[in-house]
Chain A
Amino acid sequence: MKPAKNKDDEYTMFGTDGPGAGFHLGRREFLKLAGGGLIVFFAVGDGLTLQEGARGVDYPDDPNAYLKVGPDGRVTCFTGKIEMGQGIITSLAMMLAEELDVPLEVVDMVMGDTALCPYDSGTFGSRSTKYFGPPMRQAAAEARGVLVRLAAARLGAAEEALATKDGAVFIAKTPSKKVSYTELIGGKKIEVRLEQKPPIKPYAKHAVSGRPTPRIDGRAKVTGQAKFAGDIRLPGLLYASVLRPPAHGAKLKSADTSAAEKVPGARVVRDGDLVAVLHERPDVAAEALTLVVAEFEPSDSNLDNTTIFAHLKKAAPRAEVVVEAGNLDEGAKLAVKTVERSYFAHYVAHAPSEPHTAVVRIEGDRATVWASTQSPFRAQGEVAKTLGIPTANVRVIAPFVGCGFGGKNQGGQIVEAARLAKLTGKPVQVAWKRKEEFFNDTFRPAAVYDVRSGLNADNRIVFWDYKNYHAGSRSSQPVYDIPHKRVLSFGGGGTGAVPVHPFGTGAWRGPGSNTNIFASESHIDILAETAGMDPLEFRIKNLADARMKKVVGSAADKFGRTFAKAPSGRGYGIAITDYLGTYVAMMAEVEVDKDKGTVRVLRVVCAQDTGEVINPEGVRMQIEGCITMGLGYCLTEEIRFKDGRVLDENFDTYEIPRFSWRPKIEVVLVDNPGMAPQGCGEPAITVMGAVVANGIYDAIGVRMHTLPMTAARILEALAGKR
């Protein structure tokens, strides 16, 4: 497939050579730019987009998405979503090709460009296929309907007698009588607004969806042609290195930049707290920055990894009641055995492959921005505010993004680049160095969990009293059938939460869920052992949800139904979840070196029911990625900090999974085509903490209550047991 590229694009994902001049467009301007063809406007109702779209966008009552069938027969999907590896560039194109009856090869995806794409709240929460896909299918069905109407006149046949295939309409009984979409559109410009919901193809007729399809951006990425924000080259571009404080909360007292200024070609910029050195070579700018002698006030934070959990509990705001049913006191009376435990999770970095990067070019009262961001429209507003120009004068383009995981919802680098471009009068790139990435990241919040629950004489869970502090509420509801339960969430994990953390925190792939499920599914394992049952049997007994039982059964069939009451010495772990509608059951085999405390995850089986599977290859890749990445927060990933300083600065001390960690991975996609497609980017990572913790317990009989389960913590726990 040829990637999207036309004269209106400017250095988009695949790069172009010519400069352009596109800016935020109203619908009328879009129509002008779009050239001839059939354009369908439609509304994407993911809640967030409609709600946020009503603010900030100049045509709030209009549909907020569009697709185009061009006079050349190419079909273009315009979406404000971005591609960061999760694969929607392929799955959305597949859905469009399916519904419109065109070959996948003629579909172009134009993504994350505020000038060409309709408003979008951002790419996060495994929402793209789930919320963008269905209305896009309807819009494509509408487009097909229009083409069939045109063809009926052209072929002199009734619409009902016509069928579509491979970009053409034909008479079903005499397929040789046909007319292509290209011929039908000719020089026309047809604008359609989707108001009714036309019927879309039933699942049984899907021929594209469900077929394993290679990534359509694969070729660009293996040849080095795929453009990331840092690959944008503009005449006169200056690369900036920005002075950072040694600690969060440390205010700049003084900066002597005289030595840096003497570096040939270097420009030093000072604007309040922003001190930067710019040069036409990024490495020379970075070197020159080391010559700046700066003094900072000390940070007022005195927290570190050992004091954080007590602080978090003390600083807890009022609780949100996530769920409350029955009566905890009544439940406790029914219990013959009660288990009460606390769990802890440390801060974790996103550590994206591509650090945060932005290029900003200002021309008159207009600005063009290329940025590694999950939220191009948010960036558009921020840049407009920073530069004091109308939002419509800012065009943000998110080319390929090198990992996001929630970390690129926020991006201070974009505003920094905008400020520096304004101050220097030159196009400016700000690309964080790895150390800056670790310092400026919005970490997964550290959090504390207090869980109390009980079993009746029949080994059924009769009450569940769950409190979390600063994790957020997602996935904190039990999936089990429990009559008396209450889940309280004291403080969310997102940015803008009560400023209790010593640095920025935010969404981290499966936000809240990773650690909520670590706590809850570890606790379930303890209950199973208390019941004297194997952890699989105990779970099935306490589940009422038939769909979940099927998923658990699918995983067990693959893994082997060989669970036994823990600790069995074999290192088998299990954990399950319902992540925003996607059901996951994971089973793993782990090995623990009792002398070193190290854990090796040997084998992972993941069964996932994600509704209709658009691209099985894409879903498998996401699940495999979740498992592999998830090993990091299980075993090593923990941001060390002290007095506002972030002590981990690179991958030497902050260890993330490498080749030697890789487990054998087996994925079972549980067939559920009757359900609309659900999200896939995050669900499987959320059970990793618990599945590994439960495996460790089964291997060595030591219960780990803190993430990550480092070698040192395992040795400490082993010593405590002896």
Chain B
Amino acid sequence: MDKTILFKLNGKDVSVESPPERMLLWALRTDLGHTGTKYGCGEGFCGACTVLVDGKAVFSCQYPLSKVEGKSVLTIEGLAGGGGLHPLQQAFVDHGALQCGYCTPGMILRAYGLLLEKPNPTEAEIADALEGNICRCGSYNRVIAAVQTAAKAMKGAIHEAR
């Protein structure tokens, strides 16, 4: 049964007419046309679909629309705002922390979720936080360097960026 589900997507109010048990990933990609969020495995093993819900990183392929009602969703399209790059995005470019780029949106949002909680994470904390996100191209060392650079660039200004 369709239900009207209202939530904020990248700061804007959106509504989706949909059975509420559908997963957020598909509503984002299909109903709302936000294709930056990727399908990778469909079971929460790879992290390509990672988005933020109320500031917490989640696997959108495992996150039903019913839980999104009234909440705030952030996808890669909404991270920067104003046409520029967010410090994390800039750091990923500068460090070459990507190759094919398919896992990159999920990787950046998982890192952003970490920085919201821990603005100055250690290398081990970054690696732990990102363990659920797979990069088949093998950019792990560069991703860690990028997150460290971004953390420095943001210097605790994380809440402002949000």
Contacts and interface: CB of A to CB of B under 8 A. Distances in A.
Given A214-B93, A218-B93, A617-B96, A283 B139 contact: no
A651 B131 contact: no
A317 interface: no
Interface stretch (A80-88, A307-315, A519-527): A80-88
A626 B138 contact: yes
Interface string A212-251: 0011011111111111101101000001000000000000
A434 interface: yes
A629 to B, nearest CB: 5
Interface string A391-425: 00000000011110000000000000000000000
A355 B136 CA distance: 12
B42 to A, nearest CB: 6
Given A223-B77, A230-B35, A621-B139, A650 B85 contact: no
A634 to B, nearest CB: 13
Interface stretch (A44-52, A328-336, A659-667): A659-667
B92 A218 contact: yes
Nearest to B22: A283
Nearest to B126: A659
B76 A223 contact: yes
A353 interface: yes
B99 A625 contact: yes
Interface string B77-88: 101100001000
A35 B48 CA distance: 40
Contacts of B108: 222
A659 B130 contact: yes
Interface in A491-539: none
Interface in B44-81: 45-46, 48, 75-77, 79-80
B85 A400 contact: no
Given A223-B77, A226-B101, A283-B23, A353 B137 contact: yes
Nearest to A225: B36
B40 interface: yes
Contacts of B116: none
A281 interface: yes
A469 B107 CA distance: 40
Given A215-B93, A219-B85, A281-B26, A352 B76 contact: no
Contacts of A224: 34-37, 75-77, 105
A316 B139 CA distance: 39
Given A222-B98, A624-B139, A659 B127 contact: yes
A624 B138 contact: yes
Nearest to A659: B127
Q: How large is the interface on A (under 10, 10 to 19, 20 to 34, 35 or more residues)?
A: 35 or more
B77 A353 contact: no
A230 B42 CA distance: 15
B113 to A, nearest CB: 15
Contact of B101 (A282, A402, A433, A659): A402
B93 A624 contact: no
Contact of B85 (A222, A431, A434, A665): A222
Contacts of A223: 36, 76-77, 79-80, 85, 89
Contacts of A658: 131, 134, 140
A656 interface: yes
A503 B103 CA distance: 28
A223 B40 CA distance: 18
A353 B134 contact: yes
B117 interface: no
Nearest to B143: A659
A434 B139 contact: no
B31 interface: yes
Nearest to A402: B102
B80 to A, nearest CB: 7
A459 interface: no
B43 A650 contact: yes
Contact of B98 (A215, A230, A354): A215
A351 interface: yes
Contacts of B131: 658-660
A657 interface: yes
Contacts of A277: none
Q: Which of A214, A226, A353 has the most CB of B within 10 A?
A: A353
B82 to A, nearest CB: 12
10 contacts: A85-B101, A223-B80, A223-B89, A281-B30, A353-B136, A627-B138, A659-B128, A659-B130, A659-B144, A660-B128
Interface of A: 84-87, 214-215, 217-228, 230-231, 233, 239, 280-284, 351-355, 400-403, 431, 433-434, 617, 621, 624-629, 650-652, 656-662, 664-665
Given A224-B36, A621-B99, 13 more contacts: A214-B94, A215-B93, A218-B93, A219-B93, A222-B89, A223-B76, A223-B77, A353-B40, A353-B137, A354-B38, A354-B100, A657-B138, A660-B131
Top 6 A-B pairs, shortest CB-CB distance: A224-B36, A628-B138, A85-B100, A402-B102, A221-B101, A85-B99
Interface of B: 22-23, 25-26, 29-31, 33-43, 45-46, 48, 75-77, 79-80, 85, 89-90, 92-94, 96, 98-105, 108, 127-128, 130-131, 133-144
